[in-house]
Structure 1
C-alpha cells in the first residue's frame, strides 16, 4: 500500500536556481511514522481531551462512590478536589515519564523503549477499566498517573525517534507528524465522546481505555520495523546497520550525504560527550537553546490550549452555550485542529519555523483579549457565546498552525545527539510540571477570576511573540551543527554569552 508513495522535500538552491526535489520511497518510512504516531503523541492528545466529555459522569461517579462508602454526600469542595487530582495526576505521571526518557532510551534503544512504553499504557488502561466495577475513584487517580507516565515517556520517545529517522530535507515534515497525530488523538476523543457513541454515563470508563487498543497494535508490529539510523550510527557505532536501516526506511541508495552529516556530528560529540540533564543546564554553549525551548513550552502550556482540551465543557458552559451543543462544538474544534496541523506540516518547510512561532503567539494573544470581552458581554446579547466559540476556533488554528505544530520540529533540530536526550528530559519536566500545576489550579482559578483568568493566557502568548520575533534564529534547511552556530551567534546588547563560556574555559 505504501509502495511508490511520494514525499515532497524542501526546495533546494542549486546554482542560484530553486529546484523542487522529490524522494521516492519504496521503504517502510511512512508505515513506521504511522506506527510511532498511534502509540506516541496520539495517546497524549487523546487522554488530554478524552476527559472533557465524561467529566460530568466521573464527578457523579465520585459522588455516588462516596455516598455508598460513607452513607453521606461528600462535604463541600471534596468532589472538586478529587476531580482536580484526577486531572492533575495525569501530568504528574507525565513528569515522571519525562524524567525516565534518558534511562529507557539509553538502556533499551529507541525501538525497545517505545515498545516497553506501550505495555505501560496497556496496564494503565486495565486499571481504568476496572475502576468503575470496583467503585473506586482512587483507581481512576492511579490509572491517570500510569497513563500520564506512559504519555510523558511516549511523547519524548516519539519525537526522538522521528528526528533520528528523517533525512535533513524531510526533517520538518516528518517531525511535524507528531503534532498531527496529537491532533488526531484529540479529534477521536471528541468524536467518541458524542452521546450517540461512547459519550454515555455507563461507558465513561470504556472511552478512557480505547487508546490501549492502538498500543497493542504498536507492540505487535514495531519489532518488525527498523531501529533509528542516527542512534545506530552515532551511539552504537554500527555504520552497516545504520545504512541498512536507512535503505529499509527510504528505499535503496547510498545515503552518503546523510552518513557524512552523522559522521560530522559524531566528531563533535567526541569533543563534547553526552551530558546529563544537570550538566546540560550548566553548559553555557547551549544556553540559548535551553532558554528558547523553556519559553516555548511554558508559553504553549500557559497559552490556554491544554485548558481548552481538558476543560472545554466547563469553558463553553460558562460562555453561555447550551449543554446539548457543547460536545458538537468540541468535535468541531478537533476537526479544525487536525486540518490546521496537516496544513502546518505542508507549510513548515516553505514558511520556515520562526514566522509560525511569533505570528501564531501574536494572534493567540489577541484572541484571548477578545474572549475576555465577549465573556463579559454574554448576558447582553444572544450571539456573544457563539462569537466566543469562533474566537476559540481561531485560537486553535493559530496554535496548531504555529507554535503547537512547530515546537516538536524545533526541539529535534536545536540540540545535537549528545545533548538531545538530556534536553528532552528537561523540556519534559518543565512541560508536565506546568500542566500538573494548571490541572490543580484551573478549576479554582476559573471560579475565582471567571472570564479574567484568560488575561493570564494572553500575557503569556505576548511574551512568546516578542521573544520569538527578536531572538529565535531560522533553522529551516540547516544541519544540526549549523543551527548550533546560529544560536551561539545570538547577542544581547552586543554581548555574546559564548564569550563568557570561553573565558570560563580558559580560567
Structure 2
C-alpha cells in the first residue's frame, strides 16, 4: 500500500555500533490504538475493566526515551477523561512532560489524520496496529515507517528491566515491536546528509526531545521497585502527580503519606464510626467467655443480697445464659428499627443517637455493680445490644455512602477490622487476672462509656452522607459533603451529583417489607441475608463466645485456654488487616468464596478433632485443634468477617440500602442468638464434635454454593454496572446441564 523510503537504505551496510552521525526521526505512537491493545496487560485495574489502559503506554514511552529516542503520543482530545481511560494519572504525567499531542479535529479517525500528517511533513515513524486503509491521501508515507506491536507474556521483575535492548524492543509493560532492534534502528536513525535531512531538522525544532522526563522515570521506578505489588494499592488518579516533582512518591512511606492525606477525612470518619460501634460489638461478643466466672459470682451475690435465695451452680449458669442472650434481644430490636432511624434522622444523627444509647448502657452496667443488681445489668445488656446493632448497621451505611469507589473496599473493611480488634481487646482485658475479675469487671464498661462520649462528639464534626442529603432535598449540603470527603473538582462534582440524582429519583424509598415485594430488590436482599447467614453460621459465633470452653474440652487448663484465645484473636486481626489491603485488587466475590471454602475445610477438621477427642484425648489432638482454629479465624477474617458488613450496602441502591442493611443486621443478630442458645445444650446432649458438625458444616456449604451462583462482583461498580454483572454469573441450570451431558457422554 505505502511507498518505500530510500533514505533509510544508507544504514543497510552498518551495524548498530558502526552508525555514522545521525539524526533521530520523531516516533509517533497511536495512543488510542496502543491503549486499547494493552487494556488487560498488567498493570490493569481489573480483568473486568475494559477501558483503554494508559500505564503500559507510559512505560513504553519511558523505554523509548531512556534509549535516546524522540517520542510523542497522539490522542483524540475527547478521550482525555479519567472515566474513559484507566490509570489516567499516567496520561497526566505524559502531558506534564510535554509528550502528548491532542488531536482537536472532528471525527473518530481524526487522530489518524494527525499522525499521518506529521509523519509526512516531518519524516516521523508511526507505531500502531492500525493499517490506515481508509486514508488514501497519505499513500506517499513510506511503508517501512510503520511498526506494529503486540503484548507478550514476560515476567514482571528486575530481570525484565535489565533485558538486553539489542535483542528486541520490549518494555516492562509486556509489549514488543514487530521488528528487531537493527531493523527499527535503521529506520529511526537517519545519517546526516540523507534526502530527508531537512525535514528531520525541522522536526527537532518543532518536537524537541524533552530535557526533563523525571516524572515519567519516577512513575516507572515506582512500579519496577515492586512497591506497588507489595502494598496492593493503586496510585490515586489525581493531578498531584503533575505537581512539584519532590511531591511524587518514590517509596512506600511517601506513597502512604500522600494516599492517606488525600483520603484523610474519609479515614477519620471511618475511625470515629469504628470507635463508636464496631470495636465495642466485637468486645462485647467475647468478654462473656473468659470472665464468665466473675459475672456468675456477681449474679449469685446479687440474688442472695436482694432475695436471700441460694441456687446451685448449674441454675446460676442458666440464669447467666439468659442474661447474655438479652444482648441479642436488644440487637434484634435494633435491626428492626435500623431502617426507620437511619431514614428518619439521617446517617449521622442516627449514629449520634446510637452512641448516646451505648454510653448510657455502659454507665448503667457500671452502676449495676455498685448497687449489686443483676436486674439493672440485664437491662443494660438489652439497651447495649440495641445501640450497638444500630451503630454497626448505620455505620456501615454511612461509610459506604461517603467513600469514593476506589477506596470503598478498604473503608468498608474498617468495620470488620474493628470487630476483630474488639475481639482481641475483649479476649485480653476480660482475662480473670486483668479486668475480668470479680472486683474489676465494671471498669471495662466505664472505659467503654467514656469512649462512646468521645465518639458521639467526633461524629458530629462530619457532614451526613451525600446520598442521604440529596434524597432529603439538600443539594447544596450534598455537594459540600462530596467535596468534604472526596475532594472532587467542579467537573467531577457535577457528574457525581447527576449520578446520585439518577439513583435517588429512579424510585421511591423502600421499607423492609416493600423491598421484598420487588423481584430485583428481593434478590439482592436475599443475597445479602445469605452472606450474613453464612458468616453467622460459619462457626465464628461459637468460637467467639465459647473458644475457652472448646479449648478446655480438648484437655487444656483454663489459664492456658485464655492465653490461646488471645493469640487466636490477634491472628484473626492480622488476617483482617491483610484482607483490607487486597480487597480492592482481588475483588469481593473471589475473596468471599475462597474464604468460605477454607472455612468449610477447617470446620470439617475441627468437628473431626473434637469428635476424636470425645473418645480419646491426647496432646496431639489439642495442638491440632488449636492450629485448625487459627486457620479458621484467618479464613474468616480474610473474607466473611469484614465483607459481610459492607457487601449489602454495595449491592443495594440508595432507596433500598437501609432496608437491606436492616434485614442483614436482623439475620446476624437472630442467628447469633439461636447459636448461643443452642450450642451448650446441644454440646451436653451429643458431645462437642457432633455439636460442631451439626451446626456449622451444612449451613456454610449451602451458603457458599448459593453465593457462587448468585453473588456478583461489586468492586468499583455502580448500581447499573452491578445489574449488568448478574449476567456474568454462572447459572445453576447451565451447570446442571453440563453435569448431565458429562454423565451420559
TM-score of the superposed pair, with normalisation by structure 1: 0.90
Partner Cα distance (1:283, 1:262) in 2 = 26
Partner Cα distance (1:384, 1:431) in 2 = 32
2:681 to 425, 444, 449: 444
Partner Cα distance (1:199, 1:161) in 2 = 34
1:493 to 719, 733, 738: 733
Cα deviation 1:27-78 (Å, max 9, x = unaligned): 5222111111101211211111122221111122223333444444315842
CA contact (8 A) 2:649 2:660 kept: no
SS of the residue 1:88 aligns to: helix
Partner Cα distance (1:271, 1:243) in 2 = 19
CA contact (8 A) 1:369 1:458 kept: yes
Name the structure 2 match of 1:392: 629
Pair 1:275 & 2:510 matched = yes
CA contact (8 A) 2:290 2:432 kept: no
Q: 1:439 to 1:408 in 2, by over 3 A?
A: same
Q: 1:437 to 1:37 in 2, by over 3 A?
A: same
1:245 to 481, 490, 495: 481
Which residues of 2 match residues 272-311 of structure 1 at below 5 A?
Answer: 272-311=507-546
Partner Cα distance (1:480, 1:240) in 2 = 23
Name the structure 1 match of 2:601: 366
Pair 1:177 & 2:414 matched = yes
Mean CA deviation greater in 13-22 or 163-172: 13-22
Name the structure 2 match of 1:105: 342
Name the structure 2 match of 1:319: 554
Mean CA deviation greater in 258-267 or 55-64: 258-267
Name the structure 1 match of 2:453: 216
Q: 1:258 to 1:382 in 2, by over 3 A?
A: farther
Structure 2 residues not aligned, in runs of 5+? 1-43, 56-86, 88-233, 239-258, 735-745
Q: Aligned pairs, how many?
A: 485
Structure 1 residues not aligned, in runs of 5+? 1-8, 495-507
2:377 to 140, 144, 147: 140
Partner Cα distance (2:565, 2:494) in 1 = 45
Deviation at 1:303, TM superposition (A): 1.2
Q: 1:10 to 1:87 in 2, by over 3 A?
A: farther
CA contact (8 A) 1:313 1:327 kept: yes
CA RMSD of aligned residues (A): 2.3
Mean CA deviation greater in 154-163 or 211-220: 211-220
CA contact (8 A) 2:554 2:617 kept: no
Q: 1:380 to 1:321 in 2, by over 3 A?
A: closer
Q: 1:174 to 1:87 in 2, by over 3 A?
A: same
CA contact (8 A) 1:98 1:428 kept: yes
Deviation at 1:150, TM superposition (A): 0.6
1:15 to 24, 32, 52: 52
SS of the residue 1:211 aligns to: helix
2:715 to 463, 476, 479: 476
Name the structure 2 match of 1:420: 657
Pair 1:193 & 2:430 matched = yes
Q: 1:282 to 1:489 in 2, by over 3 A?
A: farther
Mean CA deviation greater in 15-24 or 388-397: 15-24
Q: 1:259 to 1:329 in 2, by over 3 A?
A: farther
Partner Cα distance (1:66, 1:244) in 2 = 56
Deviation at 1:262, TM superposition (A): 4.7
Partner Cα distance (1:108, 1:10) in 2 = 38
Partner Cα distance (2:266, 2:513) in 1 = 34
Deviation at 1:355, TM superposition (A): 1.4
Task: Determine which structure has the larger helix proportion and give its number.
Answer: 1
CA contact (8 A) 2:297 2:438 kept: no
Deviation at 1:436, TM superposition (A): 1.7
Partner Cα distance (2:697, 2:599) in 1 = 7
**Which structure has more RCO (C-alpha within 8 Å, separation ≥ 6)?**
1
Q: 1:479 to 1:460 in 2, by over 3 A?
A: same
Partner Cα distance (1:103, 1:395) in 2 = 36
TM-score of the superposed pair, with normalisation by structure 2: 0.62
SS of the residue 1:224 aligns to: coil
SS of the residue 1:202 aligns to: coil
Name the structure 1 match of 2:215: none
Partner Cα distance (2:310, 2:490) in 1 = 67
Partner Cα distance (2:307, 2:235) in 1 = 69
Partner Cα distance (2:679, 2:570) in 1 = 25
